[in-house]
Structure 1
């Protein structure tokens, strides 16, 4: 006696693929390539998680329309972020720098400094360093970092002499003189003088119409103007910019500086990092790698970057 195989409902599979899975895949593909404000560039890497969710039912139901449609977001994601999947490489470097928002509530300045200097940096930039905490941080840095400057709540420690250290006014419109979250110094390195900027841009706040980036974008424009006027050819910017590099609000800055994009190096929040808002960018130097360091007493993870001259 011959037992017949059950007949597959290919029509239902095609309907699911054509009218549900395929449109969703197309939307994901559009979101991956669509220019966005602040929110979309932040979540864009995570859109890749939707691809296996779409691919699995398409495979199980053997839906050709769904499989073809899922190839679109897959190709878009790989084109944008595929380099992040490559094995870590030994990046060349002439300079090593560390960037960290240490948090104004950090209970362990000494332990934080130990984590940062373990990476062997030439420069260490800190944000949210309160006046009361400055002595603790200064005491924790080894003698090799004899040069430092602090302005407002941002600071720079260096192995190399610092000259021309001064505050950098990137205050958003409407804030007073007590808002001081930028500095500029010139580091006298073996490779020549390098202008070093440390900046902490305004935070992005939820508003009635979405994310309010007005103050952050104002800070970015003022920082961009300072970079455009910088007379030194070689420039390094370290800071908590409260934005991913793809954020259009940073265009006044990224018009003058660039960074390495081959590593995710998510920094915030430290407990479950979903985005890199701490950045290292440069001009006339090449940022060859960016990676995170172990967690400190901050709500941000530190990053270490390698640069070549």
Structure 2
């Protein structure tokens, strides 16, 4: 009578997939960006790659495959090292903190006044808005005026502040290939109780995802221009808020993420508003600490507002 023995090859393919998942998480920058910006596309959804562990783990349990169960520990460890801190709650506000809100309010928002009321109740010191269209701008100005007496608008982006603003100017982030009127960046100085802070608000060009991959050349060029603006900023402290149409892992934003600190805690997926899959609304800082970031309730926009605490100590 022959006794069936377990096949030594059982579980090798799922185990290999687990190792591949860990490799993509750890070495995503090694994935080439051409054709179709494949590397940037992977990095845009990098946290979700961890979900591949679930079916692999279940396979290992059902098939009682030790090799698979051990192999899935590798992507779990890599994911935890890369994203684990983002699961922790944001630090509580401190005496030398700024609370800031970033929101793409949408040029198709049916209730700009309601959105403005929601933002006014956020407790923020600074509010950055994008997609401000002429018809909706008076609603934001009227509603936010009481709590935010200082504001500046350049093109379709604006900044509202509890503190005096000075040195306002347009930040030239327009890609060279665009010929139509286009103004989606500004710079101003906020006189906070803890010193002056250079504040940048930006709305980088959109990206498109299609059968041939992701189209992000204009976004990347605009990020490069914004990175040069930040690098040349004479003030030590810098805060950047904006719809950057990219995640902090996306190499297309490296001109910014290499110069500025990103949030330490919180995923704060902000787009689309329901259900949110990625955070393309960003808050970054130089010579300051972005302790944590979270989302606020949905407004009439297709983005969720994000709120961040920035330590100036």
What band does the TM-score fall into relative to the shorter chain?
A: over 0.9
Aligned: 1:249 with 2:252: yes
Aligned residue number for residue 273 of structure 2:
270
Check the 8 A contact 1:94/1:308 in 2, yes or no.
Answer: yes
Choose from 19, 23, 29 the match for 1:30. 23
Aligned residue number for residue 201 of structure 1:
204
SS at structure 1 position matched to 2:10: helix
Superposition RMSD in Å: 1.6
Aligned residue number for residue 74 of structure 1:
76
In structure 2, what is the Cα distance between the partners aligned to 1:217 and 1:70? 34
CA deviation after TM superposition for structure 1 residue 251, in Å: 1.1
CA deviation after TM superposition for structure 1 residue 295, in Å: 0.3
Aligned residue number for residue 60 of structure 1:
62
Change in Cα spacing, 1:184 to 1:87, as seen in structure 2 (3 Å) is closer
Map 1:171-250 to 2 at 5 A: 171-176=174-179, 178-206=181-209, 209-250=212-253
CA deviation after TM superposition for structure 1 residue 116, in Å: 1.4
Aligned residue number for residue 3 of structure 1:
none
Aligned: 1:11 with 2:6: yes
CA deviation after TM superposition for structure 1 residue 178, in Å: 0.9
Check the 8 A contact 1:171/1:219 in 2, yes or no.
Answer: yes
CA offsets 1:124-144 (integer angstroms, 9 cap, x no match): 000001122111111111412
In structure 2, what is the Cα distance between the partners aligned to 1:41 and 1:28? 13
Which is higher, the Rg of structure 1 or of structure 2? 1
SS at structure 2 position matched to 1:290: strand
CA deviation after TM superposition for structure 1 residue 43, in Å: 1.4
Structure 2 portions without partners, runs of 5+:
30-38
In structure 1, what is the Cα distance between the partners aligned to 2:88 and 2:107? 36
Q: TM-score, normalised by structure 2?
A: 0.91
Map 1:60-209 to 2 at 5 A: 60-87=62-89, 89-92=91-94, 94-176=97-179, 178-206=181-209, 209=212
Check the 8 A contact 2:86/2:265 in 1, yes or no.
Answer: yes
Q: TM-score, normalised by structure 1?
A: 0.92
Check the 8 A contact 1:109/1:140 in 2, yes or no.
Answer: no
CA offsets 1:181-228 (integer angstroms, 9 cap, x no match): 000111111111111100000111236642111100100010001011
Aligned: 1:306 with 2:301: no
In structure 1, what is the Cα distance between the partners aligned to 2:229 and 2:296? 29
CA deviation after TM superposition for structure 1 residue 79, in Å: 1.1
| Number of aligned positions between the proteins | 300
